[in-house]
Amino acid sequence: MRLRNTLLAMALVSVSAVADDAKVFALDENQCTPPAASELRGDAGNGQSLHAEHCAACHGASGRSEVVVMHMDETPEDQSDPEYMKTLPDVYLYLAICKGGEGVGKSYVMSPWGDYFSHQEITDMIAWIRSFSGT
Ligand code: HEC
């Protein structure tokens, strides 16, 4: 009985630890406040390496999503298509990356990256993503 209580206590402790983590990592709306329009495109070179490491698995190295990813029922649009990319302003790209797909009414498969990347890193990736389509 005592063992069971101890286990229960441990379980409760770990649940509250998770809850604390969730609080720490919860998406802070203010954190996704986009910078001024003139600062939305950062350093494409830095964006390239971040993109290769974190995004290309789903979006492809040049944004064409010519990749096969398990459980990705809704593949991302071709980000090398200028017609498509012209419909998306930089601020939209910023919000999609920061808040994730659900944050802009798209698929949850695109996760929110706002807690992971700085403003600067997000704008660096925007500059790199723009280079796919020349927009
Ligand atoms: C697990 C796969 C996956 C990863 C990893 C991923 N994305 Fe996405 N992303 C998606 C999907 C799927 C969509 C499209 C959702 C939809 O159309 O409903 C999307 C949409 C987007 C959009 C919105 C514009 C568009 O083309 O629809 C941007 C911008 C974007 N992703 C950037 C990134 C960046 C930058 C990274 C890396 C930091 C990244 N994504 C990582 C799957 C992913």
Q: Give the confidence band of 63 by pLDDT, cuts at 50, 70, 90.
A: very high
Going by CA atoms, what residue is nearest to atom 15 of ligand 1? 107
Structure tokens, 16 = 């509250």
Which pLDDT value is given to residue 94? 97
Half-sphere exposure of residue 26, counting CA atoms within 13 Å on the CB side?
Answer: 8
Position 3 pLDDT exceeds 90: no
Q: What percent of the chain has pLDDT over 90?
A: 65
The answer to whether residue 56 scores a pLDDT higher than 80 is: yes
Instruction: Give the Å distance between the CA of 54 and the centre of ligand 1.
Output: 10
Instruction: Calculate how far, in angstroms, residue 21's C-alpha sits from the geometric centre of ligand 1.
Output: 25
Contact, 78 vs 65, CB < 8 A?
A: yes
Q: According to the model, what pLDDT value does residue 18 have?
A: 47
Ligand 1 proximity of 67 Cβ (cutoff 6 Å): no
Say if residue 67's pLDDT is above 90.
no
pLDDT exceeds cutoff 60 at 126: yes
Find out whether the beta carbon of 85 lies less than 6 Å from any atom of ligand 1: no
Residue nearest to atom 43 of ligand 1 (CA): 110
Contact 98, 15 (CB under 8 A): no
How high is the mean pLDDT of the chain? 83
> Which of 46, 59, 130 has the most ligand 1 atoms within 8 A of CB, as the residue to mutate?
59
Determine the distance separating the centroid of ligand 1 and the alpha carbon of 76, expressed in angstroms.
Answer: 6
